[in-house]
Every structure is written in structure tokens, then in C-alpha cells.
Amino acid sequence: MEDELSRKNVARGYAKRTITRLYQYLEAEEANLLKNHVEELMVRRDRLEKTFNEYEDLCKDILHLNPKDEECVDVVEEKFYKMVTMLNKAIAQRGFAPASSTNSVAQPSVAAKTHLPPVDIQQFNDPVAEQSERGGGANEPQLTSCK
């Protein structure tokens, strides 16, 4: 059990260092994020989400093995939220929907690209059509198929 706990502590430390490296990169590059390719931003966001999920799973496993574990998850969690917000904002400013990592292909945001004018549609009034809908009489003109 001590070996498993030690292995999980090492894995958690690695995940935490990965998150810290991404955080330091984003802090240094915050003003230049719009210069990066949108695909790079999405890869970094996906890597961040995957690593943070691993970190959380490892924290749960370690707490199960050692209920007295003193890992301060709050700090890492706050870094995660800040980084995801920064990345999503930079992705959205490029005209792409900041969807979750389940989408592997970047999709342009329809709302960001479409600006149509309002269209005023007049009410349709046709007495022949109204009579046909009500099952008009025998004198009603019949529609025939074109040959």
C-alpha cells in the first residue's frame, strides 16, 4: 500500500508540475495569445483539461489511501479556472466556439460570423388556398399534375 501511495504521489506531483508549466507559459504570453494559432491554443486547453482531470483523480485516490493528505487543491483549481478562461477567451476572439475538448476539429462560431438583417414577412392571404384547406365545394378549381 505504501508503494501505491508513493507512486500516486509522484504521478500527482508530475500532473501538478505540468499545470504549473502551462500556467507560467500563459502568464508570460497572456498579451500575445492572439498571435498563436488557434489549433495550438486548443491543444493547450485540451492538455490542461486532461491533466487537471488526472490530478483530481489522483487526489481522490491518495485521500482514499491517506485520509491525512494535506494537498492544497484550491490553488491548483484556481489556476485551472484562470487558464481555461484565458484560453477560451483567446479562442473565441479568433471566431471559434470555445467548446470543450470533446470536439477535435475547430468549428467557427456561427454567431460570430452571421449578421443578417431582420426580414418582415407579410401574412399570406389567398382565398383559393383557404377554401382548399377547408375542403371547399365541387365548383372549386382542382389542381392537376404537370405532364
pLDDT in tens, 95-137: 887 665 444 444 555 555 566 778 888 887 777 777 766 765 5
Q: Does some domain include residue 40?
A: yes
Q: Does some domain include residue 141?
A: no
Nearest to 98 by CA among 88, 110, 85, 111: 88
Take residue 76 and report the three cell numbers written for it: 491548483
Q: Does some domain include residue 52?
A: yes
Total domains in the fold of the chain: 1
Q: What's the average model confidence in pLDDT over 79-88?
A: 94
Determine the structural domain holding residue 27 and report its residue range: 2-97
Q: What is the pLDDT of residue 145?
A: 62
Predicted TM-score (pTM) above 0.95: no
Q: Does some domain include residue 13?
A: yes
Q: Is 108 helix (H, G, I), strand (E, B) or coil?
A: strand
